[in-house]
Amino acid sequence: MPTNRPVIRGAATSLAHTPTLVRYGSKPFREANARPEFLAELTRGLWGYDEACRYLPNQVFIGSQSPARLWEVEQPWFDKLAEADGGDAPFGHIMEERRFLALLACADPFKHVLLRERFWEEMGPVLAESPLTAPLASAAPALLTDAQLDVALEASGSLPLFAGGEGAPVGVVKTGHSEDEALSAAVLLENLCCKVSGALAVHELLDHVDGLGVSDVDLVLSCSEEAVGDRYQRGGGNMAKAITEFAGCDLGTGIDIKDFCAAPIPAMVIGASLVESGVFENVVVVGGGSLPKLGMKSLYHLEQGIPVLEDALSAVAVWIGRDDGRSPTVNLQAVGRHPVKAGAALDKQFRELVLEPLRRLEWGVDRLDRVVTELHNPDITVSAKAGDVAARNYKMMAAMLAMAKEIDRSDIASFARAKGVCGYAPTQGHIASGFVYVPHALREMAAGAIRNCMLVARASLFLGQMTELTDGMSVLIERNGG
C-alpha cells in the first residue's frame, strides 16, 4: 500500500571536465588579472580528459569505483592513475569539455554565449547522437562567423571560450548589461555553468533510474551555490526553475534553497516534507556545479608541481518520492538542526547535528552504520596546507562523542574508518557536503552493506558577513522496512 512516507528513489551524478574554464574560477581569474603570465603556468598544469577519467576520486564520484577503494590506495592519488577509465558509469558520466561548452550556448535563451560556426558544425551532431545530451541540444545556439567572433571578442567585458587549452577561441560570452555587475559576462557564465551541469545531473537521474520520466518531475529544488539576479535583486533566483525548463520537465516547477555548502540537506528535508504532506509527489533535489571554485587551490598545486586538480564542475541530483516499499526512507523524525545558541564551534555543531538526533531516536552510536560529512578530496586540500577535511571532521565528531560518553576515547582514532567515508569530492562545498554520497548510500543499502546513513552538512555563513554564525543540518536515511 503506497503511502506518502518519503523515500529516496534514485540519485545520480554528473562531472564536467572543464580545464579551460579554470581560468574563470575566482582565484585564477584574480591571479591572472594581477599577473597575466599566470595563464600560461595554469594551462601547463591542467590535465587532459583521459587523465581526469583515470583519476580515482573522479571514478568514485561517478560510481565506477567504491568509496572503500579510497582507503586501500595510498594518498596522494594524482600520481596513481588507473590503467583504464573505469568503464561504465553507474551514477553518471564524466563529460568532455567541448560538449559542455556547446551546451552552454544551448542553455542560454538570451544569446549572450555565441559559438564559432565551425565549432557548432562539429559539436551539434555529437550532442544530437548522445541520449544524454540530445534533449538538451534541441534549441539552436547563436553562431558567429570567424570575422564576427573576432569583433565580439573585442567588446568590453566579453570573455573568450577556449577548448582544448591553446588555440583560437571557440566562442564568446558577452556581457548582459553594460551597467549591471549582476549580469556581467563572468556572472552569466557562472550561472550558465550551474544551469547546464544541474540539468545534466537531472538527465543522468532520468536515464539511470526506473519510474521517473521527464513529465513525472513536479518540483525541482536547487541547492546550488550561484546567485541569479540583476542589479535590483542580486541572488533573486530561480536557478531551479531554469534547470527544470532546460531539462525539459515541462510539468514541473522549481525553487532555490540557499544555505551555503549545507543547502543540499535542508533541500532534501524540505523536499521530503513536501512529499510527506502530499503537496508534491516527485521532488528532484539538484546541485549544479560551481565555476568560482575551479582552481581555488591552483597556486598551491602549481607551486608543488602537481596537477591543478580543481578542473571539473560537479553536480548531483536526488529523486525523493512516495514510499515504493523498497527505496531507502528519509527519517524526518531525526533531522538534526543547528540552533543559534550552539554558536560556531565545530564540536558544538556536531553535538547538535549528530548526537542530538540520535538521542531523540534513543539510538546509541553503535546503531548508526554510516555518518557522512564534507567529503572534500584530500589530494586537493592537503597539498594546499588545509589538511584532510573529512578526516578532521571525523576526529572532531569522535572527540565530541567521547566527551559525551557515547564512544570510548580509545575509539576516536578508528572512528572514521568504522563509520565514515574517505573524501573524494571536488572542492565544490555543497556537492562535497554529504550530498555526493547519496548514490553510494543507496547502492550500499541495496547491497545490504549498511542499514542507515546520516548525512551531515555545514555552512560557513560568516563568509557573507551578515552573521558570525555557522549553520548546518543533518538527515537520516534508512533501509526500507528497517
Partner 1 sequence: MTAQPITLNGKKLIILGERDGVPAPVIEQAIAGLGGEVAYAATQCFV
Partner 2 sequence: MDLEDQGRIKELAEEFGKDGIVVLLGAPTTESSQVQFETVTTGDPSYAGPLAGIELGLPAYHVFEPHVKAAIDPDQYAENIEILEMGLDADAIVDALAGMRAG
Interface with partner 1 by CB under 8 A: which residues? 343-346, 374, 376, 381, 384, 386-387, 389, 392-393, 396, 427, 429, 432, 458, 460, 462-463, 468, 470
CA gap 240, 249 in Å, rounded: 11
| Per-residue exposure over 320-343, b if at least 16 CB sit within 10 Å of its own CB, e if not | bbbbeeebbbbbeebbbebeeebe
Q: Which stretch binds partner 2 (CB under 8 A): 84-92, 313-321, 396-404, 465-473?
A: 396-404
Supply φ then ψ for residue 24, to 5 degrees.
-100, 5
Least separation in angstroms between CB 456 and partner 2: 15
Nearer to partner 1, 93 or 293 (CB): 293
- Region near partner 2 per CB under 8 A, out of 118-126, 345-353, 422-430, 453-461: 345-353
The reply on whether position 403 binds partner 2 by CB under 8 A is yes
CA triple 34-37-39, angle to 5 deg = 90
> How far, rounded to the nearest angstrom, does the alpha carbon of residue 69 sit from its chain's CA centroid?
21
d(CA 319, CA 217): 9
- Cα separation, 228 vs 255, in Å, equals 12
Position 344 contacts partner 2 (CB under 8 A): no
Return the residue matching grid coordinates 587523465. 51
Residue 364 Cβ vs partner 2, minimum distance, rounded to whole Å: 20
Pick what 468 binds: partner 1, partner 2, none; C-beta below 5 to 8 Å, kind-dependent: partner 1
Q: Does 386 bind partner 2 (CB under 8 A)?
A: yes
d(CA 352, CA 401): 11
Return the number of the residue (432 or 445) whose C-beta is nearest partner 1. 432
Piece of the chain touching partner 2 by CB under 8 A; list 188-196, 274-282, 387-395, 419-427: 387-395
Segment interacting with partner 2 (CB under 8 A) among 11-19, 67-75, 170-178, 383-391: 383-391
Is residue 132 near partner 2 by the rule CB under 8 A? Answer: no
Count of positions on this chain that bind partner 2 (CB under 8 A): 16
Judged by CB, which is closer to partner 1: 208, or 351?
Answer: 351
Among 73, 251, 345, 413, binds partner 2 (CB under 8 A): 345
Q: Is 456 in the site for partner 2 (CB under 8 A)?
A: no
CB distance 86 to 125 below 8 Å: no
Task: Return the one option of partner 1, partner 2, none that residue 344 interacts with (CB less than 5 to 8 A, by type).
Answer: partner 1
Q: Which residues contact 3 (CB under 8 A, 6 or more apart)?
A: 322, 323
Selected binder of partner 2 within 159, 400, 457, 477 (CB under 8 A): 400
Whose Cβ is closer to partner 2: residue 61's or residue 415's? 415
Q: Work out how close the CB of 24 gets to partner 1 at its nearest, in angstroms, rounded to a whole number.
A: 20
The footprint of partner 2 on residues 274-303 (CB under 8 A) is: 299
Do 258 and 428 form a contact (C-beta atoms < 8 A)?
A: no
- 174: closest CA among 154, 198, 194, 195? 154
User: Which segments of 17-114 does DSSP mark as H helices, in order?
Assistant: 26-34, 38-44, 49-53, 56-61, 68-72, 97-106
DSSP 342: G
**Which residues contact partner 2 (rule: CB under 8 A)?**
299, 345-347, 385-387, 392, 395-400, 402-403
